[in-house]
A and B are shown apart, each in its own frame.
Chain A
Amino acid sequence: MHRHPFRIPRFTLSARHGGPVSPGSATRALAALALAALALAALTLVWPGPAHGLDKPVARQLVVEQIELTGEPRTRLEVVERYLGLAAGSTLLSADLLTGRQRLEETGFYKSVDVYARPGSEKGLVVVVVELEEHTQPQYRFQGGHGRLDGWFIVPVSFVYDNPWGRGHRLDWQWYVGSHADGTKLHYQHPRLFGGAASLDVDLFSESRSFPQWVQGKRVRERVDIGGLHFRLAVQRGRLHNMFAEVRMQTYEPGRSDEVEPLLGRDLDEADVMVVCAGRRRDTRDHTGYPTRGFWGQVKVEQALSGSAGDVAFARLDAEGRWYRLLENRNVAAVRLHAGLVTKDAPFYERYYLGGPYSMRKFERAEATPVGWGTRTLQIQSELRLPFGREEAAGPVNTGVLFYDVGGIWLPGEVPLPADLEHDMGVGYRRRVPVLGVLRLDLSLPVVPTDGDTDWDGFHLWLTLGRTF
């Protein structure tokens, strides 16, 4: 928000002294100066001004006199001003109305939004009129997305009752189904705790998540029922900006079968897990949907508490960075690095996996993962993204991709070595479509290792949703 006070131009006078100045001459000079000022003032009063077309352009700016809400909205003025990006005293450009309207529409709080201007009480002052029609009942919303842990998922049914008290809070319930997990979640968000210094998210959820185990090339399915509460406090400004803290209180109920009993042992016991977490995130990307430059990174440390708080204790350090660089012809080079370390007491459902469409693409999901999942992982994914055809605000409609991935995963006690790393490479195609977002087709090709033997198992075709990173 570019607010500025109403400012009066200030003139400063400077004089160069050629010699000593007597008190008398100084008085005369001041009197002459006063006379000249009076004459100039009189002239400006009687002179009609420069002829039409001869005046020099003056950089005058429009200033917001007032934000006026119409439609009897329950939303408070400060909430509207926050999304609008304008308040009384702000300088105003035509684009401000467009961006303000779009930001208000994107909150999803309103049935309809219109933003326009009317002349204010003086020339140059403008009243910005915001016409809002609020939702009065919970709204149905369709959602979709993807994540490294979540795979791709869709939310065919969700009901949103945002902004119930006019303060910009969010409340929604959703039922989601996806490649890795199905479940329901109730979510609440307070967007401006402590005067806007932080936001708070609370999730109450219940889901069933898959954790496949690969035993001698054969997949053993294992599903775990998970329920719990998740609190997340994110700092939005100040010295701790981008820091976050989380508390997870979850109950895990792994499924038991003759196939998994001998493999996972005590990890199959029902367990309460309470995890506290702190971390920092940094995001300098120019675009969230199709970044062409910048960085996204996150580091977090977690500690699961035992005793009366939980049944298992473990610690985790996790770091992820993604870099984007714009090349010629709109092409983009993108690299993602993920490193994770969790102590050996972590049960399999708190450990890492390797393989799948959001990991090493030549493997099925978790195919390269040891039984019981790994406690250390390192993954580097690189993509050369080659957009072609039409460009939309959300990004290019068509993108060709060349990718190369390196990754490894290790059990407790194993020493990570470069020879342990898996490699894959391939080609891909992404198409942005209505409703679904980005459809992704990746074909992993065999890699020729340094000993010259072609890895013919490297062929793998993935049709999935969302970009890799």
Chain B
Amino acid sequence: MALALIILLALGALAPVAGRAEADGAEGGLRVAAVTPALSSGALSVEVECADLFSPKSLSTLQSGLSGVLRLELRLQRSGAARTLLGGGHQFETVRETELAQSISYDVWNERYTVRGPGREEVFGDLASAEAAVARFAVDRLVSGDELEAGAFYRINARAQLLPVSPEQGQRLAAWLHGQTRPDREQELAGGHRAGFGVGGLLSVLRGRSPNARDRSEWCASEEFAVSAEAVLQWRAAGEQGD
């Protein structure tokens, strides 16, 4: 019992460390090549360009007729601190998070690719055009301009992942799979439950690496930018008039 408590406390001490660890991703060739923010028409918009979408295996899967979904995570981050004399040291905090997804599928019977995104569907006869279309995300209004703080520095972080299903379907599937009774690894005890994982799983947890990090890019940050006080005032006035 005492030994069990010591081991338990040791593992408990490790758990917060595991929780703080950052996911390092970058398990496949997929990457975010460019994140380009722009301030126009009273809103912050962003364009994201992904590259090296398909590994040979994911391309083979696509060309078999199975669809792929490119999921994009966007984080608008703000730095409250003024820029230091050495030019670094910004502490950014995330102020807005959003997710987008675009799918690409290949019709093996008609030999054409279809790219679907929010409010659009395009058909292509060749892979290169379809890949270019699915790799580009354009968000017209990430946040309204009057939500930005004058003088603060901002940046946009983006990360992409290629999935065989949409993020919603993926979450449902993951929950469904997790919820399935697996008598071979998770035994139902009398009124209880048992689960286990190996060294690989333990290290993954301690390093904060998600087992779902396959075909996921690293985070890519845009250039830092700031908004002038005049612009913010102008947008706010325009917003009030609109109300």
Binding site for B on A (CB under 8 A): 53, 58, 60, 62, 92-95, 97-99, 102-103, 105-108, 114, 116-120, 123-124, 126-127, 129, 139-150, 153-156, 158, 160, 170, 177-179, 182, 189, 191, 199, 210, 234, 281, 283, 285-291, 320, 336, 338, 358, 393-394, 433-437, 465-467, 469
Contact = CB atoms under 8 A, between A and B. Distances in A.
B57 to A, nearest CB: 4
Interface residues of B, number: 60
Interface of B: 1, 3-4, 7-8, 11-12, 14-15, 18-19, 57-58, 60-61, 63-68, 108-109, 123, 163-165, 169-171, 173-175, 177-199, 202, 205-206, 211
Given A288-B180, A288-B186, A435 B18 contact: yes
Given A99-B177, A147-B190, A154-B7, A435 B195 contact: no
A214 B177 CA distance: 44
Contact of B175 (A119, A139, A170, A287): A287
B185 A435 contact: no
A123 B108 contact: yes
B15 A116 contact: no
B199 A466 contact: no
The 4 closest A-B pairs by CB, nearest first: A147-B192, A287-B179, A143-B196, A148-B191
Contact of A124 (B58, B65, B174, B211): B65
Given A126-B66, A288-B179, A435-B15, 5 more contacts: A117-B66, A142-B199, A143-B196, A150-B192, A154-B4
18 contacts: A62-B65, A62-B66, A93-B66, A97-B61, A98-B163, A98-B173, A99-B177, A117-B66, A129-B57, A145-B193, A149-B191, A149-B192, A177-B7, A290-B179, A393-B171, A436-B12, A437-B195, A465-B8
Contacts of B11: 154, 435-436
A95 B198 contact: no
B4 A178 contact: yes
Contact of A94 (B66, B184, B197): B66
Nearest to A120: B64
B19 A146 contact: no
B184 A191 contact: yes
Nearest to B105: A94
A280 to B, nearest CB: 13
Contact of B170 (A98, A119, A160): A98
Contacts of A99: 173, 177
A95 B15 contact: no
Contacts of B197: 141-143
Chain B CB within 10 Å — which of A108, A148, A199, A283 has the most? A108
A358 B192 contact: yes
A314 to B, nearest CB: 18
A320 B188 CA distance: 13
Contacts of A97: 61, 66, 164
A305 B77 CA distance: 70
Given A62-B66, A434-B18, A288 B193 contact: yes
Specify which of B18, B163, B191, B192 lies most central, judged by the most chain A CB atoms within 10 Å of its CB.
B191
Contact of B63 (A107, A119, A158): A119
A436 B178 contact: no
Contacts of B58: 116
Contact of B64 (A118, A147, A291): A118
Contacts of A338: 191
Given A140-B198, A145-B195, A436-B15, A119 B185 contact: no
B214 to A, nearest CB: 9
Contacts of A147: 189-194
B199 A140 contact: yes
A94 B165 contact: yes
A146 B186 CA distance: 12
A460 to B, nearest CB: 19
A453 to B, nearest CB: 32
Contact of B190 (A129, A148, A177, A436): A148
A225 B171 CA distance: 46
Contact of B191 (A158, A283, A291, A469): A469
Contacts of A146: 189, 192-193
Contacts of A291: 179
Nearest to B4: A177
